[in-house]
């Protein structure tokens, strides 16, 4: 899997060209198989819009994106969605499907219109629920699940179609300490299986700890590169107007980065 953008820009339309407000300009990302990419930026900086353009739900104002070196404009949505899954920002279940039925819905590409699920579909749904540690609430109605439990159901639903790329919009927002770790660790284990992840996040710390590369929107320019090179005190101050310090802790021989916001600087 390789996903690239070439000078990708986006502006919501205005009555005149001057009224156009660019959310981001000339963004060049490059994510290759098995990588984790974080997208950071203040509220309203265009993170969700960037994801929507990547997935073809909105058109870039200018620039292009390429999936496996094919211009995404030339890919059918079936070709794209056979390889990509999306977990939107969604905290509460509004349907009364059971957790298992919801996960099974993620196989609809394989099951086909008006067909019934095959044994292999049912096994795939059970297997992913086992792997994600949510098999215990297989028969629970989704609207009885907590936000964290439901988030894991949505991730299972996205993964049951065996994607090469998983796109998650703020997957850890609103989750408690433990469930945040469950989601972040899930991305690690997907990476070990060669599945790439892109996630929008409000937590620079999560980018520092998990993401191989990061995109930062909302500053004087868009920054993209290795997380260790671009998520630093200078870019955080430019983008968020917050003076912060990044420090490192050694735990069981592993170096873990943390970031502490100090004060609002601009």
Cβ proximity of 20 and 87 under 8 Å = no
Does 157 bind ligand ADP (CB under 6 A)? Our answer is: no
Among 12, 19, 22, 228, indicate the residue that binds ligand ADP (CB under 6 A): 12
Q: Are the C-beta atoms of residues 204 and 226 closer than 8 Å to each other? A: no
Under the binding rule (CB under 6 A), the answer on residue 219 touching ligand ADP is: no
Give the CA angle between residues 1, 163, 156 to the nearest 5°: 145
Q: Which of 3, 8, 41, 60 binds ligand ADP (CB under 6 A)?
A: 41
The residue (of 49 and 161) whose beta carbon lies closer to ligand ADP is 49
> Is residue 35 near ligand ADP by the rule CB under 6 A?
no
Query: Between residue 46 and residue 75, which ones bind ligand ADP under the rule CB under 6 A?
Result: 46-49
Query: How many whole angstroms separate alpha carbon 58 and alpha carbon 24?
Result: 14
Cβ-based nearer residue to ligand ADP, 88 or 147: 88
Residue matched to tokens 């394989």 = 110
Cα–Cα dist 218/238, whole Å: 9
- Any contact of residue 112 with ligand ADP (CB under 6 A)? no
What CA dihedral angle connects 154, 158, 160 and 163, to 10 degrees?
-160
Q: Residues of 197-236 as b/e, b for ≥16 C-beta within 10 angstroms?
A: bbbbbebbbbbbbbbbbbbbbbbeebbbbebeebbbeebb
- Cα–Cα distance for residue pair 106/214, rounded to 1 Å: 28
Q: Any contact of residue 15 with ligand ADP (CB under 6 A)?
A: no
| Minimum gap (Å) between residue 24 Cβ and ligand ADP | 9
Say whether residue 192 binds ligand ADP (CB under 6 A): no
Q: Which of 45, 85, 98, 196 binds ligand ADP (CB under 6 A)?
A: 45
Interface region with ligand ADP, contact rule CB under 6 A, candidates 30-38, 40-48, 134-142, 191-199: 40-48
Are 168 and 155 spatial neighbours (Cβ–Cβ below 8 Å)? Answer: yes
Residue 98 or 235 having the CB closest to ligand ADP: 235
What minimum distance in Å lies between the beta carbon of 20 and ligand ADP? 11
Q: Which is nearer to ligand ADP, 49 or 98 (CB)?
A: 49
Take residue 261 and report the two structure tokens written for it. Answer: 């916001």
Binding site for ligand ADP (CB under 6 A): 12, 23, 41, 43-49
């Amino acid at each position: 899997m390789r996903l690239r953008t070439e000078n990708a820009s986006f502006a919501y339309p205005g009555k005149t060209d001057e009224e156009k407000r660019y959310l981001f300009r000339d963004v060049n990302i490059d994510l290759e198989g098995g990588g984790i990419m974080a997208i950071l930026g203040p509220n309203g900086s265009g993170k969700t819009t960037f994801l929507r353009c990547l997935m073809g739900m909105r058109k870039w104002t200018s620039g292009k994106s390429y999936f496996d070196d094919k211009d995404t404009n030339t890919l059918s949505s079936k070709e794209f969605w056979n390889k990509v899954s999306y977990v939107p920002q969604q905290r509460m279940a509004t349907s009364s499907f059971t957790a298992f039925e919801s996960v099974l819905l993620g196989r609809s590409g394989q099951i086909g219109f008006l067909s019934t699920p095959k044994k292999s579909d049912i096994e795939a749904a059970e297997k992913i629920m086992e792997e994600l540690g949510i098999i215990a609430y297989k028969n629970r109605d989704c609207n009885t699940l907590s936000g964290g439990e439901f988030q894991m159901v949505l991730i299972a639903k996205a993964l049951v179609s065996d994607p090469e790329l998983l796109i998650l919009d703020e997957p850890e927002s609103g989750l408690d300490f433990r469930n945040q770790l469950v989601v972040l660790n899930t991305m690690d284990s997907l990476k070990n299986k060669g599945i790439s992840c892109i996630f929008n996040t409000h937590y620079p710390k999560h980018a520092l700890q998990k993401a191989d590369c990061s995109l930062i929107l909302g500053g004087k320019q868009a920054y993209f590169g290795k997380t260790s090179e671009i998520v630093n005190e200078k870019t955080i101050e430019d983008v968020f107007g917050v003076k912060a310090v990044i420090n490192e802790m050694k735990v069981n021989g592993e170096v873990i980065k943390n970031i502490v916001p100090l004060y609002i600087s601009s």
